[in-house]
Amino acid sequence: MTAHISLYDLLQDSAHQHGDRRAFAQGAKTVTYSELLEDVRLTAKRLAYNGVQAGDRVAVYAGEQYETIVTFLAINARGAILVPINPQLKEQQARHILLDSGARLLISTGPRLRRIEAALTDIELDTWSLEKLQPDNLNTPPDTAPVNPHSTVTDSDPAAILYTSGSTGRPKGVVLSQRNLVSGAYSVAHYLRLQADDVILGILPLSFDAGLSQLTTALVSGACYAPLDFLQAGEVPTFCEAHGVTVITGVPPLWMQLASVQWPQPAGARIRCFANTGGHMPPPLLEKLKRAFPNALPYLMYGLTEAFRSTYLPPEAAVTRPDSIGKAVPNADIRVLRPNGTECAAGEHGELVHRGAFVTLGYWNDPELTAQRFRPWVRPDRQILRTETAVWSGDIVYRDQDDYLYFVARSDDMIKTSGYRVSPTEVEEVLFALDEVTEAAAFGVPHPQLGEAIIISLFTHPHRQITTPALIKLCRDKLPTYMVPLHVSLHDSPLPRNPNGKIDRKQLKQQFSEFFSTPLTVTE
């Protein structure tokens, strides 16, 4: 039996148990677990022969193709540190990640390397195209290069650096250990009840923790990973039907797109599980997805890159508590704390604090920020002197009497207006009740009298008419006066996204940063 220290170990185990089963499917290409393991071993040997050592940072800037998956796992087999770069990022963003991580090697496709070559001129690193790692393109003695020096890899060693989208500044790297990746895969696979006959759609970027989780949970369960780089939402049902997809995880903006397209009955009926992460799913959207996937169980999840996955709401609770983010996932301890570190009472707002196997190693190259967010957790048993680390999420939540958790807002997203603190989610949910509204984002901008004024940006259904006065009236009917938006901005295209597919509130706020530099009255 293989000791499950790394992702490579998970791959070896699945190849032993499910060697003839599909591990990867994309278009006409299908690969078994035995074939995937052989390709990963060969690629790991090539990396070793060309000097890649344990602890080296190796960046990968490529789409979700088979060669990318093989390269990810080969880097892990070598004990090197994977630095996935979202393929949507442009040259200056990629340059920042390469410089900040200190990557010694960048692996990409030929076209993408040419796209960013101007930003690489003064960076000391090797660049390889994915094609260089293919058979016959590297002169690698097959029996002289080690595959994976297990003696130098423990589960506390860094395995990957995931760069956040930079919604609060330049992207910062979160360092994940081998233990984070493996324990997280087991936890999610357990509560999603994944099986070897599942086909998991890979539709989120692999540079995003939830996207990488699609791959890792497939490895731990022996399921098939079926990635899709799509341009139009209408492509997704066709792909799912062709590949027999049974499990989908998405973020709210993606779900809004997928709920708006027609799902063929066989494709929709085959989905047995769909999961949401990366933001609150409005109840009307959840109902649309239930109709599209009549046999599926919905899982509403909450997580943060610094601790991967924190809570989930099981399907049976989604009926009675659709607004809850649930309870702690297996192998996590979640607390709601006041600023002084004491526990909040039921119904009292506080900061979500996470301890356990998924708490990452901190921020790369940023000890000050690491010290702010990752703090010692002193065990109540004083005979055990050693402390562990917990992560303070920055998210405001509360518990109900049955210990179910509810998200209020990011502490830095909370709108401070007229002396009140307002959760953007509370304002958005009122508008999501309208069939015409496809996307909504509430945010605060400076205002000379109010401190911050509430603005709503909306993307509405193109074939349905709705007016700004009607929207303002709805808010006045449903919300306290201080929560009524002072301005509603209607968009005829989807709201801007950050590279992880989430609505880019920072960009929207910048657009309206001087909107109220002089007093404005909303006209009805």
pLDDT tens over the chain, length 524 residues = 678 899 999 999 999 999 999 999 999 999 999 999 999 999 998 898 888 999 999 999 999 999 999 999 999 999 999 999 988 887 878 898 999 999 999 999 988 888 888 888 889 899 998 876 665 555 555 555 555 544 468 999 999 999 975 433 467 899 999 999 999 999 999 999 999 999 999 999 899 899 999 999 999 999 999 999 887 889 999 999 999 999 999 988 789 889 989 999 999 999 999 999 887 788 888 999 999 999 999 999 998 889 989 999 999 998 889 889 999 999 999 999 999 989 999 999 999 999 999 999 999 999 999 999 999 987 766 666 677 899 999 889 999 999 999 988 777 777 878 656 677 887 888 888 888 888 899 998 888 777 788 999 999 877 767 888 889 999 888 887 878 999 999 988 889 988 777 888 888 988 888 888 754 444 33
CB contact at 8 A, 253 and 494: yes
> Using CA atoms, how far apart are residues 127 and 105, in angstroms rounded to an integer?
6
The pTM (predicted TM-score) of the whole model is 0.83
Q: Which long-range contacts (CB under 8 A, 24 or more apart) does 47-50 make?
A: 47/74, 47/75, 47/78, 47/80, 48/78, 48/145, 48/146, 48/147, 49/138, 49/140, 49/141, 49/144, 49/145, 50/138, 50/140
Sign of torsion, CA 168 171 175 179?
Answer: positive
* Amino acid present at 48: A
Which residues are CB-neighbours of 246 under 8 A, at least 6 positions away?
A: 197, 198, 199, 200, 270, 271, 272, 273
> Using CA atoms, how far apart are residues 299 and 312, in angstroms rounded to an integer?
7
